[in-house]
Structure 1
Amino acid sequence: MSEKVKLPKEVANAIDRITNVDGKKPLFDIQILESNASEGNDLAGDIVDYVSEAGYEKYFTALINGYKIEKTPKDKLLEHYKKLQTRREYYLNQEDHQRDSMTKIEQYGIKYTLNTLGIKIEGINK
């Protein structure tokens, strides 16, 4: 089985929401998507922009083999932060104060960096 393609969230959502109309399969017809995008269809526009950036092969591979949503940098950071929190809880239960302190410092570094850059992420510094 072929590997699933990672797609940006907005492209995956657009693919999920565009349906076949009148027996046409707009997801497989780039000309229909381009026409719809030029008429102001934002979903089609997201797909057309992605195809122009990533190429036809990657797009059609995603349609045929399936796809998964690519994590955004914020999603990745939040996941890492939550893992650190789980580690801290484990270290506290084990009374390993040195490792707890190191993990706490790493969490502080993440919060400090986000605050300095003016970025808010629910679950970290919001």
Structure 2
Amino acid sequence: MNKVKIPKEIAEAIETAKTKYSGSGITILLDVYDERYTFSEISKISKHFDGDLQTLMHVLVNGYEVEKTPEENFRDYYEYLRKIEDNGLISPAKRKLAATERVGVNMTLRLLDIEVDGVNK
């Protein structure tokens, strides 16, 4: 069964709520259903799932995947380009293309005044 992807902040709220409730997912579900926001985490969870208790139950029972942030996706792509550039088994033309793309990525970040850990920070 596929796991639901949720934002990092919601995953953290669920884990914090589980800790406060001694691991009880059913208590989280009941508090969201009854709109008892005993913790700020319950409020965050409730707002995210917006009445979709079936999906929340699925997350609490079957687990979830944390969505990557745009920065994490960007960093992964940058590392992919770096690996191609450094791989001596790949053709020189493809290695040069990867190096050129990395230069373009860095220039774009600089022009937009954006810093991404592991890329230009």
TM range (shorter): 0.7 to 0.9
Alignment partner, residue 3 of structure 1: 2
Cross-structure match for 2:94: 99
The equivalences for 1:16-27 within 5 A come to 16-19=15-18, 20=21, 25-27=26-28
Q: Percent identity?
A: 25
Post-superposition CA distance 1:76-114 (Å, at most 9, x none): 110111111111100xx3484322221011112222222
State whether residues 84 and 107 of structure 1, in contact with CA within 8 Å, keep that contact through their aligned partners in structure 2: yes
1:64, distance to aligned residue in structure 2 (A): 1.8
TM-score by length of 2: 0.80
Answer with 108-117 or 23-32: which moved more: 23-32
Q: How far, CA to CA, are the matches of 1:118 and 1:34 in structure 2?
A: 43
User: Please, which runs of 5 or more residues in structure 2 have no aligned partner?
Assistant: none
Provide the rounded CA distance (Å) in 2 between the counterparts of 1:122 and 1:64.
34
5+ residue gaps, structure 1, are none
Q: What RMSD over aligned residues (CA atoms) do the two structures have, in Å?
A: 2.5
- Equivalenced residues, count: 117
Task: Name the SS for the 1:124 alignment partner.
Answer: coil
User: Shift of the alpha carbon at 1:42?
Assistant: 3.4
2-structure distance, mates of 1:66, 1:117: 37
Amino acid paired to 1:51: F
Amino acid at match of 1:116: L
